[in-house]
Amino acid sequence: MNMLISVIIPCRNGENYLSEAVAGIRRQKLPVEIIVVDDGSTDKTACLAESAGCRVMRHEARRGQVAGKNTGIRAANGNYVMFHDHDDMMNAGALSTLYNKLVAGEDLWLVMAKVRDFLSPELSKIRKQDIAATIKKEPYYGLFTGAVLMRKALFDRVGFFDENLNTGEIISLLTKMDKIHLQYKKIDFVACNRRIHMTNYGRTDTAKEYKDYSAVLRAGLFSEMRGSK
């Protein structure tokens, strides 16, 4: 039985936090391969990933994090896939908990745990005060990376991600699963700590993020309306 989990890290200019993310994944008690998809970085992301023993897939020009996920899926050798951001940190035992829940249900295709926000230590006191009011105080569901484990075969059923989106892909995936009655499960467990810093995607591309979420939600609603006729 192939227990290998392919942990895919789409990353652009991630030399600041990548080593910490990889270390957290390496501490897990299951066999993993770490695939770093270097999305046209201009720093030493690829060299750093290779020196840490990761497989590196390169986009010569920037294509976006969703395209990076698709590249990682195509390269994955494992029967199970997880996506992880380069700036987040996986908690001890997270993969084992997710894996055990996933394989315990033969009809389950995906399990989702919670994440917890934390302020990156290097932020100045003033920056921390500015940002603190905007982060979630309690663990929460809905973040795709570092908290969701799925069977790789899921993508044979629902297809790859829409690369016209830069975010909202978790909503799109769950919507596709619902349409063909594939089962997924939420578990009350904090799998990953989401680092809040000055260059999070959601902080630097807020307008694009909201636009993509709206597009995904509209598409799902439109499909449901067509299906109800």
Q: How far apart are CA 200 and CA 204, in angstroms?
A: 6
What is the mean pLDDT of the segment spanning 12-27?
96
pLDDT tens per residue across span 108-128: 999 999 999 998 887 866 676
The predicted structure's pLDDT at residue 219: 46
Residue with tokens 């394989």: 103
Q: How far apart are CA 1 and CA 12, in angstroms?
A: 34
What is the mean pLDDT of the segment spanning 155-181?
92
Nearest to 58 by CA among 12, 104, 127: 12
Residue with tokens 């509209």: 218
Q: Which amino acid is at 155?
A: F
Residue with tokens 């302020």: 119
Q: Return all residues near 202 (Cβ < 8 A) that are at least 6 apart.
A: 167, 209
pLDDT band at 170 (very low <50, low <70, confident <90, very high): confident
Look at residue 71 and tell me whether its pLDDT is greater than 50.
yes
What is the mean pLDDT of the segment spanning 190-195?
96
pLDDT band at 206 (very low <50, low <70, confident <90, very high): very low
Q: Return all residues near 192 (Cβ < 8 A) that are at least 6 apart.
A: 84, 88, 89, 90, 91, 94, 113, 115, 116, 143, 145, 146, 147
- pTM score of the predicted model: 0.85
What is the mean pLDDT of the segment spanning 209-220?
43
CATH code of the domain occupying 5-163+181-200: 3.90.550.10
The predicted structure's pLDDT at residue 187: 96
What is the mean pLDDT of the segment spanning 141-170?
91
The predicted structure's pLDDT at residue 226: 35
**What are the φ/ψ torsions at residue 8 (nearest 5 degrees)?**
-105, 125
Q: How far apart are CA 84 and CA 86, in angstroms?
A: 6
Ranges of each domain in the chain: 5-163+181-200
Ranked by mean pLDDT, the top range of 45-59, 131-145, 192-206 is 45-59
SS3 39: strand
Name the E strands within 45-107: 55-59, 80-83, 89-90
The predicted structure's pLDDT at residue 93: 96
What are 120's two structure tokens?
């990156």
For residue 1, give Cα distances in angstroms to 75, 105, 153: 19, 16, 15
SS3 223: helix
pLDDT band at 199 (very low <50, low <70, confident <90, very high): low
What is the mean pLDDT of the segment spanning 156-183?
92
**What are the φ/ψ torsions at residue 72 (nearest 5 degrees)?**
-65, -40
